[in-house]
Amino acid sequence: MHADATPKSDRYVHTRVKTLMSEPPKCCICLDEFTSPALLPCGHCFCLGCIGEYWRIHGACQCPLCKAIFPTRPPLITAQTPHAGAPTEEAAVPLKAGEVPCDLCPTKRRAVKSCLVCLASYCATHLEPHYRREALGRHLLISVGKNLEDSVCRLHGRQLNKFCRSDQTCICAMCAQSEHRGHHIISVSREATKKKVKLKWRRMKLQQAIQERLSKVEKIKLSVNPKESRAQNKELIGQLEEEISELQSRSAELEQLSQTEDDLHFLQTFTAWTDTFK
């Protein structure tokens, strides 16, 4: 038997990856230098994260170039390229305001995706197993979220991607077929769009109420009243200023809420805000 017992296909894969590492090629998905290049059985190579996301979004294991379809998720052999940034460099970058840290990094690098099955957030490096392994590849990945438990249905463990207008609550697809069957149900994104229009209208009404009270205060201050009425006017101005302060606080909350990018988090916060100020 030949001394090199490595299967021919595996030798080809390693040779191909080694060739890729010797030059600065580009991934045709991200159009950037390879990061953890992964070679498909058809011979085409992509960043592990790029091909993993491509398969996740399209729901099928297919080569983006030759359109070859793989019935089962193929094992992806990867190798770090000398052109990619070193992990230590990425770890040295401090987290910006609002960024979520990776749950597995001791140095807390920035997370790029969250998993609704693992209920954890991962940096690009620690996310790789979700693209490499078939079992993890079936997990549901979403944009990075801070409170992952709030994104999952506590009854069915599924993503909250539906909104029941009958009950004014976020639900999962299984809820729509069981507890909320027959209710008026739309997607979370569609309901968020409707609520954002309503939010804009509420902010306009608040601003109008603030301006009305400011005008009253100015009118009282400019009015000429007998000495005995001044104390009463001062009390009235104080009451109006308190109302203005409260309305401005509500307006600031709505302004902050309007900047929320995640539709699910927006709906949950908007509902809580509406319940508070009914």
Q: Are 61 and 70 in contact (CB under 8 A)?
A: yes
Q: Among the ranges 13-17, 82-86, 89-93, which has the highest mean pLDDT value?
A: 13-17
Give residue-wise pLDDT tens across range 119-158. Answer: 888 988 888 888 888 788 778 787 776 777 778 888 887 8
Q: What percent of the chain has pLDDT over 90?
A: 23
Residue pLDDT, tens place only, 172-191: 989 999 999 999 999 998 99
Q: Is the dihedral of CA 63, 69, 73, 79 positive or negative?
A: negative
AA identity, residue 198 = K
Is residue 235 scored above 70 in pLDDT? yes
Q: How confident is the model at residue 64 (pLDDT cuts 50, 70, 90)?
A: very high
pLDDT in tens, 258-276: 887 778 888 888 877 776 6
Q: What backbone phi and psi angles, to 5 degrees, belong to 77?
A: -90, 125
Name the pTM for this structure. 0.51
- For 227, counting Cβ atoms within 10 Å of its Cβ (0-12 exposed, 13-18 middle, 19+ buried), the class is exposed
